[in-house]
């Protein structure tokens, strides 16, 4: 029986939370558990509060009569604030309320006076969810109570790719490197561009938009690698983006999860990530985990240049294993 109503940002929007939501909705629908979706946020400035007002009004009609579950997937502090109102209303209607915290934007709220406000905002939840055990422990230490772990969902195209045979690994020595990211501070894209100085025969494609786009383009020009670094803007077709990519690099050190390396690995594309407690859980030993320096990125590319044919099947196998371990309903209700 369909029991779960998902609430969150517009899944047709941009960013990791929206990407994960498309996967979650597809996953629950395939399992016959999805009862509905309520949009709480759209990125347009004039639509930041109208969606949650509509969701509050629609909630009584959307919740199933029997054993309803509201699964609210949240982003930054403002998103948590909107979610709190919906969660309180759902709880008053008899729903089992689950809130998943999925944004590094709330990190500053885990210490100091704001953690008390965060605790009040998530109080309507019967169960709190984090994407990794590392963040679950951080939330516990902030006084948010018991926190369970459920990794964000991969988008449907990545799930399909993980279950399909991988393409033959190219034997060419000149590689196409790729990264999908918001072009913002703390994403490590400057390190990635600086690494291209040490990789004179390789090409880099960057998908994404953000406030640092002009600065990153100027950096590529300054380092004289602009002819080998392509900025593609927001990528709508992930499958087309990954076509022809040899290695995927995720240079961020500040993500609460990080889906994009797994999207690449699902397609048999070896990945390089920064060594953090989060990436230790997300990619394990199936990806190269390195220090956050341009020289480390370049050195790891050169290592994988010769053994990526070994890493390719291991990368996809890791994602398949992760998919096989998922039990969304059991995590939500215990």
Tens of pLDDT, residue by residue over 211-261, are 999 999 999 999 999 999 999 999 989 999 999 999 999 999 988 898 999
Residue 113 lies in a domain: yes
Residue 332 lies in a domain: no
- For residue 56, what is the enclosing H or E element? helix 50-62
How would you classify residue 245: left for phi > 0, otherwise alpha for psi between -120 and 50, otherwise beta?
Answer: beta
In a domain? residue 328: no
**Domain stops at, among 89, 119, 153:** 153
Tell me, yes or no, whether 239 and 181 share the same domain: yes
pTM more than 0.85: yes
Q: 213 and 247 share a domain?
A: yes
- Is residue 90 located within the same domain as residue 169? no
86 and 177 assigned to the same domain = no
In-domain check, residue 205: yes
Per-residue pLDDT of 317-329, as tens digits, reads 999 999 988 999 8
Q: How far apart, in whole angstroms, are the C-alpha atoms of residue 64 and residue 47?
A: 27
Check residue 245 and report its DSSP letter: -
Total domains in the chain come to 2
Tens of pLDDT, residues 256-290: 898 999 999 999 999 999 999 999 999 999 999 99
Same domain as 199, residue 140: no
Q: What is the CATH number of the domain that holds 228?
A: 3.40.50.2000
Categorize the per-residue pLDDT at 171 as very low, low, confident or very high, splitting at 50, 70 and 90. confident
Query: Do 317 and 232 have their domain in common?
Result: yes
pLDDT band at 312 (very low <50, low <70, confident <90, very high): very high
Domain span holding position 137: 4-153
- Give φ, ψ of 86 to 5 degrees: -70, -40
């Amino acid at each position: 029986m369909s029991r779960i109503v998902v609430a969150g940002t517009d899944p047709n929007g941009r960013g990791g939370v929206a990407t994960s939501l498309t996967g979650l909705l597809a996953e629950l629908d395939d399992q016959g558990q999805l009862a509905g979706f309520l949009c709480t946020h759209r990125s347009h400035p004039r639509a930041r509060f109208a969606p949650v007002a509509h969701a509050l009004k629609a909630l009584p009609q959307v919740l199933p009569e029997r054993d309803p579950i509201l699964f609210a997937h949240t982003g930054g502090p403002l998103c948590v604030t909107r979610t709190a109102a919906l969660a309180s209303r759902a709880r008053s209607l008899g729903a089992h309320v689950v809130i998943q915290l999925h944004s590094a934007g709330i990190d500053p709220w885990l210490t100091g006076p704001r953690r008390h406000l965060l605790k009040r905002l998530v109080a309507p939840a019967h169960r709190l969810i984090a994407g990794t055990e590392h963040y679950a422990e951080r939330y516990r230490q902030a006084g948010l109570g018991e926190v369970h772990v459920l990794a964000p969902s991969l988008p449907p195209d990545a799930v399909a790719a993980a279950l399909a045979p991988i393409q033959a690994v190219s034997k060419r020595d000149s590689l196409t490197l790729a990264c999908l990211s918001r072009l913002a501070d703390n994403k490590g894209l400057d390190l990635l561009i600086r690494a291209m100085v040490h990789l004179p025969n390789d090409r880099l494609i960057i998908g994404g938009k953000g406030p640092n786009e002009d600065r990153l383009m100027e950096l590529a020009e300054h380092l004289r690698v602009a002819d080998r670094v392509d900025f593609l803007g927001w990528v709508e077709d992930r499958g087309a983006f990954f076509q022809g990519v040899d290695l995927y690099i995720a240079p961020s050190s500040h993500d609460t999860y990080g889906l994009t390396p797994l999207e690449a690995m699902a397609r048999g594309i070896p990945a390089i990530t920064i060594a953090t407690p989060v990436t230790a859980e997300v990619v394990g030993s199936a990806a190269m985990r390195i220090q956050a320096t341009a020289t480390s990125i370049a050195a790891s590319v050169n290592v994988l240049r010769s053994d990526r044919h070994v890493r390719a099947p291991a990368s996809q196998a890791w994602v398949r294993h992760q998919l096989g371990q998922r039990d969304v309903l059991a995590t939500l209700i215990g």
